[in-house]
Amino acid sequence: MHSQLQRRIQRYGWDKAVNNYEDGWRDSLALVQKCLLKTANARHGETVLDLACGTGLVSFPLADAIGPEGRLIATDISEKMIEELECVAHAIRVANIEAKRADGETLDIIDDQMFDLVTCALGLMYFLEPMNTFRQSLRVLKPGGRAVFAVWGARKNCGWADIFPIVDARVKSEVCPMFFRMGTGNVLANELKEAGFENVKEERISTVLPFANDENALTAAFAGGPVALAYGRFDDATRKSAEAEYLASIADFKKASGYEIPGEFVVCSANAPE
């Protein structure tokens, strides 16, 4: 797909998703975000770059860990995500986060060898060429600096995955053509090594994603995530048919009290060469 088009789909799609993202996904993503934070082990006074930061579900705990002596730059392609993060940082008086709109594949606003740690939680699936991000991360990390990346796992282990073909069938171009690539097999770890990272370690996490009811599951899938731009343009009839098809696709995971949808994540850590 044309790279400009893919970036526009991401940028404006996530702008649209901003008000539904946390309600839709906070509980489902807590486990993998915790795992990333534990692996990252951010320490007092460190400099951290959080890529594809979204509303800051990972940025705020990182900022807390590095304390007032530390500095965190949070970047995202979506202006609205950055505004939301800034707004919360202001409201809760977090002063050590600087939020900037930036494409995670180019990072041209960031100087060389600035960071002790680079993180990216659940952003790489939306990047066209994650290898660009890995090479840029190596450029901006200090020698020996750490990087931790988390992605969704293999398609067959993510029970909500039919959202993509369901939406793609109703639009002209695929929304997230490479979504499950990084989390399949050892692709993420292998690409990190190929980029020049050392000490690459991989952890695969299986979990269950809780959604309280149909409405909650639909909001997360359609309005709170990467298909939000396409969904926002559907007429009523298209919305209804897409929603019905999605609910049918997750029907096997319906329990007495909402949904428990299988999910899988991969978390990789690595170091820049000394």
Ligand X SMILES: C[S@@+](CC[C@H](N)C(=O)[O-])C[C@H]1O[C@@H](n2cnc3c(N)ncnc32)[C@H](O)[C@@H]1O
Q: Which two tokens stand for residue 97?
A: 């986060």
Query: Does position 77 bind ligand X by CB under 6 A?
Result: yes
Query: Does position 122 bind ligand X by CB under 6 A?
Result: yes
* Distance from the Cα of residue 31 to its chain's centroid: 13
Query: Does position 140 bind ligand X by CB under 6 A?
Result: no
Query: Does position 195 bind ligand X by CB under 6 A?
Result: no
For ligand X, which stretch binds (CB under 6 A), given 7-15, 90-98, 196-204, 231-239? Answer: 7-15
- Exposed e or buried b per residue across 97-118, where buried means at least 16 C-beta atoms within 10 angstroms of its C-beta: bebeebbbbebeebeeebbbbb
What sign does the dihedral 191-197-202-207 (CA atoms) show? negative
Give the DSSP H/E element, type plus range, for residue 69.
Answer: none
Nearer to ligand X (CB atom), residue 64 or residue 238: 64
For ligand X, which stretch binds (CB under 6 A), given 118-126, 136-144, 238-246, 257-265? Answer: 118-126
From residue 26 to residue 65, what is the string marking binding to ligand X with x (rule CB under 6 A)? Answer: ---x---x------------------xxx--xx-------
Query: Does position 209 bind ligand X by CB under 6 A?
Result: no
Query: Does position 121 bind ligand X by CB under 6 A?
Result: yes
State the nearest-atom distance from the C-beta of 80 to ligand X, in Å: 9
Instruction: Single out the residue of 126, 160, 164, 234 in contact with ligand X (rule: CB under 6 A).
Output: 126
Q: How far apart are CA 75 and CA 100, in angstroms?
A: 5
Q: Which two tokens stand for residue 72?
A: 């965190």
State the nearest-atom distance from the C-beta of 49 to ligand X, in Å: 12
**Total of residues contacting ligand X (CB under 6 A):** 22
Q: Which two tokens stand for residue 42?
A: 């951010």
Query: Does position 72 bind ligand X by CB under 6 A?
Result: no
Amino acid identity, position 31: L
* Distance from the Cα of residue 51 to its chain's centroid: 9
Say how many Å lie between the first and final Cα of the chain, rounded: 37
122 neighbors 151 (Cβ within 8 angstroms): yes
Nearer to ligand X (CB atom), residue 21 or residue 234: 21
Nearer to ligand X (CB atom), residue 27 or residue 245: 27
State the nearest-atom distance from the C-beta of 99 to ligand X, in Å: 11
Alpha helices in 41-168 (DSSP H): 59-66, 79-91, 130-140, 163-168
Which residues of the chain form contacts with ligand X (CB under 6 A)?
A: 7, 10, 14, 29, 33, 52-54, 57-58, 76-78, 81, 103-105, 121-123, 126-127
